Chain A
Amino acid sequence: GAVVSQHPSRVICKSGTSVKIECRSLDFQATTMFWYRQFPKQSLMLMATSNEGSKATYEQGVEKDKFLINHASLTLSTLTVTSAHPEDSSFYICSAPSGPNYGYTFGSGTRLTVV
């Protein structure tokens, strides 16, 4: 089946630094990647939608200059959290439409802790 590989699974960074999260589609082409954020005991909230070769679309309230998304190829999308602060600590998950049989395939998530 379709697989989205997400790395790193966990990262701890100092306040003010940047962190890059990668999502790769392993056996299919992901023209679109959805990026979600999930706070403890809450649902997944869509942050942005990236499309290969074009600018990402951000949901209301999500700072595009803080959460940089790059989707330069059909198999790789990245989310960079810039100048991270403790309130950015969360679980970040990517997802891509993976065809009619697999629906949407999710990455395994990245637990970001900003100290």
Chain B
Amino acid sequence: GENVEQHPSTLSVQEGDSAVIKCTYSDSASNYFPWYKQELGKGPQLIIDIRSNVGEKKDQRIAVTLNKTAKHFSLHITETQPEDSAVYFCAASRGNNAGNMLTFGGGTRLMVKP
């Protein structure tokens, strides 16, 4: 089955700096890679996703890059703000059709210091 590894487990940055979180996956058939933000006591919220037919996607301060050959993908947050502080999870799937489960990375606790 799929195995997703995520690094670092904790990340502390100064407000305004950039934050980068990296994930690797093992299943070459995975083609859907979402990133979730989870605040304390809440369910995960999708912040950005990428499919295997593109190498990069950007949405304002957030970007994701995908290297299918190396089987890794990364989340980039620029101009970080204190409200970005949360736990971030990467995930991989063979696609969000019924029956294709998501496999999660271990999570990264991001702390943005004002």
Within 8 A of B (CB), among A54-86: none
Is A43's CB under 8 angstroms from B34's CB? no
Given A104-B34, A106-B44, A44-B89 contact (CB < 8 Å):
yes
A contact face: mostly helix, strand, loop, or mixed: strand
What number of B residues sit within 8 Å (CB to CB) of A? 24
Q: Which single member of A43, A51, A107 contacts B89 (CB below 8 Å)? A: A43
Determine whether the beta carbon of A97 is less than 8 Å from that of B106: no
In contact, B99 and A109 (Cβ under 8 angstroms): no
Which chain A residue shows the least CB distance to B98? Answer: A32
How many residues of A are in contact with the other chain, CB < 8 A? 27
On chain A, the residues within 8 Å of B105 by CB distance are: 43
Tell me, in angstroms, the Cα distance from A109 to B96 when the chains sit together: 20
Which residues of chain B have a CB within 8 Å of any CB of chain A?
Answer: 32, 34, 36, 41-46, 49, 89, 93, 96-107
